[in-house]
Structure 1
Amino acid sequence: MRALRTTTALAVTASFVLLAGCSSDDPADPSPEPSADESSPSASADLDGQSVTVVTHDSFAVPDDVLAAFEEDSGLDVTFVQPGDAGTLVNQLILTQDAPLGDVVFGVDNTFASRAIEEGVFADYKPTAPAAADAAEYAVAGSQALTAIDYSDVCLNYDIGWFEETGREVPENLGLLSDPEYNGILSVTNPATSSPGLAFLLATIAEFGEDGWEDYWRALADNDVRVTSSWSDTYFVDFSAPNYGGDYPVVLSYASSPPSEVIDGEPTTAALLDTCFRQVEYAGVLEGAENPEAGQAVIDWMLSDDFQASVPENMYVYPVSSQVDVPAEWAEYAPLADEPHTMDPEVISENRDAWIESWTEIVLD
């Protein structure tokens, strides 16, 4: 998800919205809720003086004081390993499964979660931290391998000033961006390497269906869509918004990005809420980790009030905890989509590779 949005400024998340489409819809198979007398294995473990390695994407961000408090309370020495964007992260986890990169992972999202679970990358863990019940609302059906930490909507963002200065109408929906009038204005990320990129691809498939999404991407390719390998390249380098000065007035980002672009009380960017895909980010203990109990402690920490409260202003996504308030300006500048695109994780799992292969042939070959 983003280290602005950190980048995840991450990643895509609020305490006042329940996720549709990424949690189990089967009332007969609810995600188990931790009982009051059920203690976390990490809670009883003596971790003082031990080390834990957290593998995450290159957008992860946490305040120094929040991290320092955790290290002091737990006795752990925390090291972070960041192999790349979220899509790259999952690929690396699978490739290094026999020699795990660390003990616990943060940043696998619902577009890649089923792949990681199927590959056996994660060990089961059921946290008992304060926000565990809230996290269960976003659980991957039939699995206890991943714990939801945050969520958001992956959406196209646009440069308000550019459209005002050029006199062009804002392309309020996906279909308009294939019009020749919008040639050369859109930058997105590669769905093979970027979780926001995959989320956007899924949004277009949900919007146009199996019979129409490929033609839509052919039209975008003809319209000179730019493709980068990571969210940070698209947002920080390509975006024409005042804080960045790139050449593309429409870029792929998050519904929660615009508050960070308010200058002197005036918004300079906005999200196109009809283009959104709901994204959830998870944490999980790596199978074969050297210190799994420390990894469990990290997950409990990420569900703590302190960590959850830090999520909005550091990773620009919504915390899963219902006990945490998001910044007041988000109501004005970062509303979530009323009807975001969603997709069953099983459908994603069954079709992801074929969809990415087809997309690559259309857009990059």
Structure 2
Amino acid sequence: MRLLPIVGLTLMLVAACTGTSAPTSDDRVVTLVTHDSFVVTPERLEMFKNATGVTIKVLASGDAGELANKLVLTKENPIGDVVFGIDSTFASRVLRADVLAGYSSPEAKNGAHRYQLAPANLLHAVDVGDVCVNIDTARLADGAGPRTYEDLLDPKYRDMTVVEDPATSSPGLAFMLGTIANFGESGWLDYWAKLKANGVKVTSGWEEAYTQEFSGSSGKGPRPIVVSYASSPAAEIGDNGVPRTSALLDTCYRQVEYAGVLNGASNFEDAAKVVDFLLSEPFQSDVPEQMYVYPTRDGVALPDSWSKAAPLPAASRSLPGDAIDANRERWVEQWRAVVFG
């Protein structure tokens, strides 16, 4: 889900940047299973270890969809103790599979409760990251760019849009769900047929779409319209202090990422402390600049640039979790039939 993914992060995030030694067999270690885009300042982990005696071992396990699938497939022999990165598009699958142990974090009352799911003691909201269409404002200057889903169908934007495949990408799935929420069951496939006719390009994931195909970021690709995040423009501030990109806030779908203790955690009490840490002020204050998402904790200050470049959308679309769970596979197959058929 992230703006700055770190592929294959399966290391102990404790020693390299802090000068401390790696954990020994005598240390209390909690394995945090997460997505490939998890990033945290090593000093935050060292502070947690000093306060609790617990070392956090980070095990990256693909994107949000892969992460959810792995937890379900390994629930009889869990690969870790705590999970972070189950987002709202996959949460119902994980909840239904009974892979989580009940734990009510005292830190949840500080803001995470606003996004709680039923039952409330299984998953705790760590961050919010709205998926939205982004545009390269240099290529589409002076108000010439699109603003809505419908605008992307205008022939003047032919061959300008790149999106991610919802079968393989969390933001791609969120964008597809946003079109369903916007156009309804009766109209969303027709919308995608028209988007295909207008030259939309589909990539397997966010990194390819944003860093290779999109013209407004590092790859300087050919397409000035991309599906990314409301927070993405905060990473595209020019030397003049002006963002090079803009998120279209009328095209956003709300994603929330959750954490919880896994059934079979080797040490439940230490695993619970890690969940508390993910909801605590030290970790939450690290979230915006490390993972380019919005913290759920009340009172956590955002970087100054975010107020202009990356405001949290006031009214994002969403769908009920049970509706997503019941229809996700059918919707993705319908989408593939229209876009690739």
Same fold (TM over 0.5): yes
Q: Does 1:254 align with 2:229?
A: yes
Partner of 2:52: 74
SS of structure 1 residue aligned to 2:249: strand
Report the CA distance between 1:299 and its aligned residue.
Answer: 0.6
Alignment of 1:33-182 (within 5 A): 49-129=27-107, 131-164=108-141, 169-182=144-157
Report the CA distance between 1:121 and its aligned residue.
Answer: 1.9
Q: Does 1:290 align with 2:244?
A: no
Tell me which of 183, 195, 205 is aligned to 1:230: 205
Do 1:3 and 1:58's aligned partners in 2 also have CA atoms closer than 8 Å?
Answer: no
SS of structure 1 residue aligned to 2:163: strand
Alpha-carbon distance in structure 1 between the residues aligned to 2:2 and 2:93: 22
Report the CA distance between 1:290 and its aligned residue.
Answer: 2.5
SS of structure 2 residue aligned to 1:162: coil
**Mind listing any 5+ residue stretches in structure 1 that lack a counterpart?**
9-47
Q: Residues 74 and 229 of structure 1: is their aligned pair in 2 closer, same or farther, counting only changes over 3 Å?
A: farther
Alpha-carbon distance in structure 2 between the residues aligned to 1:128 and 1:242: 40
Alpha-carbon distance in structure 1 between the residues aligned to 2:325 and 2:83: 20
SS of structure 2 residue aligned to 1:137: helix
Alpha-carbon distance in structure 1 between the residues aligned to 2:163 and 2:36: 17
**Mind listing any 5+ residue stretches in structure 2 that lack a counterpart?**
8-25
Do 1:151 and 1:280's aligned partners in 2 also have CA atoms closer than 8 Å?
Answer: yes
Report the CA distance between 1:302 and its aligned residue.
Answer: 0.6
SS of structure 2 residue aligned to 1:141: coil
**Matched positions, count:** 323
Alpha-carbon distance in structure 1 between the residues aligned to 2:238 and 2:6: 19
Alpha-carbon distance in structure 2 between the residues aligned to 1:236 and 1:99: 37
Alpha-carbon distance in structure 1 between the residues aligned to 2:300 and 2:233: 20
Q: Which sits farther off after the overlay, 273-282 or 292-301?
A: 292-301
SS of structure 1 residue aligned to 2:125: strand
Alignment of 1:186-205 (within 5 A): 186-205=161-180
| Residue identity opposite 2:281 in structure 1 | D
Q: Does 1:263 align with 2:238?
A: yes
Do 2:104 and 2:120's aligned partners in 1 also have CA atoms closer than 8 Å?
Answer: no
Do 1:160 and 1:268's aligned partners in 2 also have CA atoms closer than 8 Å?
Answer: yes
Q: Which sits farther off after the overlay, 180-189 or 56-65?
A: 180-189
| Residue identity opposite 2:58 in structure 1 | F
Alignment of 1:3-42 (within 5 A): 4=4
Report the CA distance between 1:62 and its aligned residue.
Answer: 0.5
Q: Does 1:272 align with 2:264?
A: no
Partner of 1:2: 2
Query: How high is the sequence identity, in percent, across the aligned residues?
Result: 47
Report the CA distance between 1:249 and its aligned residue.
Answer: 1.0
Q: Which sits farther off after the overlay, 85-94 or 198-207?
A: 85-94
Do 1:3 and 1:314's aligned partners in 2 also have CA atoms closer than 8 Å?
Answer: no
Alpha-carbon distance in structure 1 between the residues aligned to 2:173 and 2:243: 27
Alpha-carbon distance in structure 2 between the residues aligned to 1:346 and 1:117: 11
Q: Residues 3 and 212 of structure 1: is their aligned pair in 2 closer, same or farther, counting only changes over 3 Å?
A: closer
Report the CA distance between 1:3 and its aligned residue.
Answer: 5.5
Alpha-carbon distance in structure 2 between the residues aligned to 1:253 and 1:128: 33
Superposition CA RMSD, Å: 2.0
SS of structure 2 residue aligned to 1:132: helix
Report the CA distance between 1:213 and its aligned residue.
Answer: 0.2
Which 4+ residue blocks in structure 1 deviate beyond 4 angstroms?
Answer: none
Using the size of structure 1 for normalisation, the TM-score is 0.83
Alpha-carbon distance in structure 2 between the residues aligned to 1:51 and 1:141: 29
Alpha-carbon distance in structure 2 between the residues aligned to 1:219 and 1:335: 30
Q: How far does the alpha carbon of each residue in 1:117-167 deviate from its partner, in whole angstroms, 9 at most, with x for none?
A: 0111211111013x5341111101334210000112110111111123xx8
Q: Does 1:355 align with 2:331?
A: yes
